[in-house]
């Protein structure tokens, strides 16, 4: 049974051919890959939460000014995540990593903080923007995995009583150096760079797409709509990643 995509078979076969000929694959995911798990995207709806723009709540200034509001924002997203699970798109990326590519030749770089790639079983995973299931102390910088349990409205550190914050990179904050270096290296070394479910507007993450292109990698985009990556992609697969990624993996297994 051939999967029909909005723009036919050719792009799927072309993407499969790029992947068959590739030794190293780097993948960049955004909120779109979690959409079919029921996690709202950022710019999908209207990018608002309780009338606030995400860019206004997910910042150190907002946390400084009104930590209770910011914790309410994250506690609500953590509670919502209790009801969601990885979807076939997440699982197809695990299959690419474990069954099709050599482990050292596959790197998954995500902008998402929902933890669904880790839950799906991805191992070589770089979480550029942190993880909503982890907190860190604003005083002693201790980090703690806290899962999705509800935290107090102003949770405090058990070691020093300092105020805890989500271990997430907010807007106007630098990404963790070590994670960024690894992502930049995987991007420079890859033969194919696959961009899945991102509007490609947030930097420096989106800059990886341009860096891959400059380094001569083939760029494959999977999205349900045009994004800022579309014009530089070598092939665009239009449709939901939860259907396209499994179809791509099936195609690669057929030819194996």
Binding site for Zn ion (CB under 5 A): 137, 139-140, 142, 157, 159-160, 162
In the complex, the smallest distance separating the C-beta of residue 24 from ligand BV8, rounded to whole angstroms, is: 23
Side by side, which strands form the sheet with 164-168? 143-145, 130-137, 164-168
* 129 is an active site residue: yes
Which 3 state secondary structure label does DSSP give 60? helix
Per CB under 6 A, which of residues 152..191 are in contact with ligand BV8? 168-174
Contact 217, 191 (CB under 8 A): yes
| Two tokens, residue 169 | 């990179």
Marked catalytic residue, from 129, 141, 172, 210: 129
* HSE-CB for 221 with a 13 A CA cutoff: 24
Contact 25, 194 (CB under 8 A): yes
Does 129 engage in binding with ligand BV8 (CB under 6 A)?
A: yes
- Considering only 17, 91, 224, 232, the residue that binds ligand BV8 (CB under 6 A) is 224
- Considering only 19, 116, 126, 202, the residue that binds ligand BV8 (CB under 6 A) is 202
Q: Beta strand 106-110 with 25-29: parallel, antiparallel or unpaired? A: parallel
Which residues are marked as active site? 129
Where on the chain is the footprint of ligand BV8 (CB under 6 A)? 30-32, 35-36, 41-44, 55, 58, 111-113, 129, 168-174, 197-199, 201-203, 222-225, 227, 240-242
């Amino acid at each position: 049974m051939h999967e029909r995509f909005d723009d036919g078979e050719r792009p799927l076969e072309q993407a499969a051919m790029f992947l068959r000929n590739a030794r190293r694959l780097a993948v960049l995911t955004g909120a779109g890959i979690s959409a079919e798990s029921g996690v709202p995207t950022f710019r999908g709806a209207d990018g608002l939460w309780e009338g606030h723009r995400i860019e206004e709540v997910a910042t150190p200034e907002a946390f400084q000014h009104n930590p209770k509001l910011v914790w309410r924002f994250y506690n609500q997203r953590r509670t919502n995540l209790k009801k969601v699970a990885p979807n076939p798109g997440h699982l197809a990326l695990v299959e690419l990593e474990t069954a099709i590519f050599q482990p050292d030749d596959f790197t998954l770089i995500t902008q998402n903080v929902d933890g669904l790639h880790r839950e799906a079983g991805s191992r070589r995973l770089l979480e550029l923007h942190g993880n909503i299931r982890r907190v860190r102390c604003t005083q002693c910088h201790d980090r703690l995995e806290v899962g999705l349990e509800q935290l107090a409205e102003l949770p405090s550190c058990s070691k020093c009583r300092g105020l805890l914050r989500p271990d997430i990179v907010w807007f106007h904050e630098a990404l963790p150096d070590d994670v960024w270096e690894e992502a930049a290296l995987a991007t420079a070394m890859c033969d194919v760079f696959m961009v899945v479910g991102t509007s490609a507007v947030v930097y420096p993450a989106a800059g990886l797409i341009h860096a891959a292109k400059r380094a001569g990698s083939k760029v494959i985009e999977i999205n349900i709509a045009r994004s800022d990556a579309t014009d530089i992609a070598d092939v665009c697969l239009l449709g939901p990643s939860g259907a396209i990624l499994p179809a791509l993996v099936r195609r690669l297994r057929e030819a194996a």
